[in-house]
Structure 1
Amino acid sequence: MTTAATRPDVKRGTIPVFATATAVTVSNIYFTQPLLEQIARGFGISTSAAGLVTTAAQIGYALGIVAIVPLADRARLRRLSSVLLAVTSAALLAGAFAPSVALLGMATLVLSASTVLPQVIMPTVASMAAPGRAGRALGAVGTGLTMGALLSRTASGLITEAAGTWRAGYLVAALATAALLLVLPRYMPPGRPSESAPADGYFRLLASLPGLLVRHAPLRLSAALGATVFAAFSAFWSTLAFHLAAPPIGLGPAVIGLFGLFSVPGALAARYSGRLADRWGPDAVNALAVASALLAFALFGLAGQSLVALAVGCNLLGYGTTSGQIANQARIFTARPELRARMNTVYMFAVFAGGAAGAAVAGVLFSAFGWHGVAAGGGALLLLAGLVPAGHAVRGRHPGRGATAEAPHEHAHDAAVPADRA
């Protein structure tokens, strides 16, 4: 079915294929988390030692964002997507047959670094969007991204239980990722994002990243909003299991593992935030996103012992986080095509750093003040996010104090290519 979100010259079915690809590939980062106990038992090691597999996944993903995603500004996207899918599939197979936890961690590090394909797809789909429809396209693909992250843990748990071994999760993930090799590259653009852009060397691409943050005010705004909101999101999810397991709630691990499913309706509703961004602009959607997440933390603090309140809050938080990301990326993808992947690199690195900081702070708050400390800390982060646009507006009225969105002294090759129609 043709989607009105893309230009007429874009292949039919591109949006569903991209959404499916992001869901499948992003799940490779998270599906190991419910398997740690089985991995520990299988190798005869402690649970904390098995947790190094999850750590390797996070480190690998961070490395991939910084080291691989910038290549999407210069590489041939069809070839790049094929290579990433092949490497990820091979690493998943290596993990399935790993004879030790050390080799499993190495395989997980590689597969996580190469599974950054969603962050290549997002700027690509923005370039393929019809005029005025970039938000809608990002919303559809971003929903696939969120659903993959939410459902991967449940799926891997069910697969492991059915097969009786954690290795089945790696095998199924390898098959699903390899299957994308037969489909996704056909829908990716065959050439580079901008054929007229100079072929900068790899290290020059990496060296240009800090300058983008200095020169582009929309990128600074999106990075600050993304980091603070995702910090609150991570604070909640990193401590929720401890809260649910402790009295008076006292849920078991099986029920806790399924709790993430309560966020699915909110994540699905966030798809329409892309249309709102097209109609009202990203700033309005960011305001709605922060308000939704703040209301969630109010529920967590006031009625944190109620499973119903927690479920409603999960949906509000999921909606706010996903909607905010769609708005943030819609804002930064107004940049020229040859800059979008690097802009997304800087943005996602800020979001990742914010999430890591939020999880670390939440652990301290939970130990010192319990669940109410986490709720208060998350609320404070969201209040800070609400102040970010105000600070950005004040700074914009005094351009002498900082760079504007399009500084006139940008590199000549940045100014050589006209802005994309999307």
Structure 2
Amino acid sequence: MLAIACGVMVGNIYLCQPLLAQIAQQFGIAEKAASLVAVATQIGYALGVLLIVPLADMAKPALLVRWLMALTTIGLAAAALSPNVPVLLVASVCFATVTVIPQIPMPLAPTLVAPEHRGRSLGALSTGLVLGILLSRTVSGAAAGFSGTWRTPFALAAILSAILLFIVPRFLPEAPSGKAPTRYRDLLGSLPSLLRHRSLLLSMGMNFCVFGGFSAFWAMLAFHLQAPSFALGPAAVGLFGLWGAPGALIAPVAGRFSDRFGSAPVNAAGLCATATSFAVAGTWGATSIIGLILAVNLLDFGLQSGQVANQTRIFGIGEAIRGRLNTVYMVATFSGGAVGALAGGLAWTFGGWSDVCLLGGGMTMTAGIMLTMDRLATIYIALQRSDAE
């Protein structure tokens, strides 16, 4: 049930992506301006992770989720009724800020299982999370295509969030899992001290880059598929979420491999898949639907496996601070998403689809350099210790 909730609530951030071309048409604005809606949701989610998710270490999870779901419902309804783009942008930031519900059970999951199954538990929730990201586009595109307006998906999401408000909190504990500062100011003040952990900085940096490329790809896919070579509408764009679902189902396997072999090999495999995805999308996928479907699956596998590996790594730092570890990690992730969506819009304006794929490939290569440097540093430190002994 928690995996389903993660998927549904995170989907609120991505349901706008297949609608961007339709939003641009109905409001009579440029494509680059419409892409700011996707940027707004990424910024809002990053703010929510920074300001709200730390409360998972202090507040009662069930009560916290009830309030967040109620506010999410109101924000989505406001987006559906937006009379113009500025109001839609404000509403998008607001509902994205409070739809951070998936990040509340994520730090709780490892506390409910044995340490050797930490990766598997995260894999289960991450499967729901990524399927929600992908399938929200499918449902959103289909609803907009059949109804003829981009407002319908937002209205449906508001109704679904209101229904979950009465169900999901029953599956969450009434008390926080660990000891944390009792004052909100102290809770936020403790976040910078977490950056002393090298494993956290590595995970943050890699996911900033990979999620940035992922966001650039998906934010611009609607415009690419509406180009003359494809001439597809929002319903067809949304179906690409469904085509990419198989890649998301790798999450439990990635969790098991992280438990068994460590996070670094899983990260390496994920980065290879992501780099290949952008190469395929920029060449074969420039004119072929089949090429894009292959690229989407590789991209989803790369993001998902890397996400599970990164969270397995950082949640091993300490149980009592997992909520705050997840906070700084996800702030980096969705900051990367906002940067990627914004940069993707600029790349599309200046060079089209090929530049968007080059951007994603470059961000993936940067993540690969980070992982390589960390492994070399680890080997060097081990050799130094060996020589000292």
Give the C-alpha shift of residue 154 in structure 1: 2.2
Specify the SS of the correspondent of 2:174: coil
1:358 to 329, 340, 346: 340
Matches within 5 A, 1:288-307: 288-304=269-285, 305-307=287-289
1:147 aligns with 2:131: yes
Aligned to 2:309: 327
Aligned residue for 2:187? Answer: 205
**Contact 2:62–2:172 (CA<8 Å) still a contact in 1?**
yes
CA gap 1:199/1:136 in 2 versus in 1, 3 angstroms: same
**Contact between 2:39 and 2:341, CA under 8 Å: does it hold in 1?**
no
Shift of 1:229: 1.7
2:264 corresponds to which of 271, 283, 299: 283
- Give the percent of matched residue pairs that are identical in Structure 1 and Structure 2: 44
Measure how far apart 1:69 and its partner are: 0.8
Alpha-carbon distance in 1 for matches of 2:79, 2:338: 25
Deviation at 1:353, TM superposition (A): 2.3
Quote the offset at 1:379 in angstroms: 2.9
**For residues 240-259 of structure 1, what are the structure 2 equivalents within 5 Å?**
240-246=221-227, 249-254=229-234, 255-259=236-240
Which residue is equivalent to 2:76?
92
User: Cα offset for 1:51?
Assistant: 5.8
Per-residue CA deviations over 1:76-98 (Å, capped at 9, x if unaligned) read: 11111111112212333344455
Amino acid at match of 1:323: S
Instruction: Give the TM-score normalised by structure 2.
Output: 0.86
Judge conservation of contact 2:57–2:320 (CA < 8 Å) in 1: yes
In the other structure, the counterpart of 1:18 is 2
Q: Which stretches in structure 2 are left out of the alignment for 5+ residues?
A: 382-389
Moved more, 86-95 or 107-116: 86-95
CA offsets 1:86-144 (integer angstroms, 9 cap, x no match):
22123333444556655554443322111001111211112222331111111111111
Q: 2:150 and 2:345 mapped to 1: Cα distance?
A: 28
Residue in structure 2 matching 1:231, options 187, 193, 212: 212
* TM-score (normalised: structure 1): 0.80
CA contact (8 A) 2:136 2:241 kept: no
Provide closer, same or farther for how the CA distance between residues 131 and 51 of structure 1 changes in structure 2, counting only shifts above 3 A.
closer
SS at structure 1 position matched to 2:132: helix
Decide whether aligned partners of structure 1 residues 89 and 370 sit closer, same or farther in structure 2, where only a CA change above 3 A counts.
closer
Change (3 A) 1:311 1:41: closer
Aligned to 1:410: none
Q: Deviations along 1:381-416, whole A, 9 cap, x unmatched? A: 3233222223223444677xxxxxxxxxxxxxxxxx
In 1, Cα distance between equivalents of 2:360 and 2:71: 37
Deviation of residue 340 (structure 1)? Answer: 0.9
1:312: how far off? 1.1
**Larger deviation: 146-155 or 52-61?**
52-61
What is the rounded CA distance, in whole Å, between the counterparts of 1:37 and 1:108 in structure 2? 17
> Which residue number in structure 1 is paired with residue 54 of structure 2?
70
2:384 counterpart residue number: none
Q: Which is helix-richer, 1 or 2?
A: 2
| Larger RCO (CA within 8 A; separation ≥ 6) | 2
**Does the 8 Å CA contact 1:36/1:47 hold for their aligned counterparts?**
no
Among 200, 220, 234, which residue is 1:219 paired with?
200
Q: What is the match of residue 27 of structure 1?
A: 11
Tell me which residue corresponds to 1:192: 176
CA distance in 2, matches of 1:180, 1:203: 30
Q: Is the alpha carbon distance of 1:361 and 1:105 closer, same or farther for their aligned partners in structure 2, counting shifts above 3 Å?
A: closer
The equivalent of 2:385 in structure 1 is none
Establish whether residue 270 from structure 1 lines up as the match of residue 254 from structure 2: no
Which SS does the other structure have where 1:177 is aligned?
A: helix
Does structure 2 conserve the Cα–Cα contact (< 8 Å) formed by 1:270 and 1:320? no
Question: Match for residue 122 of structure 2?
Answer: 138
Contact 2:18/2:238 (<8 A) preserved:
yes
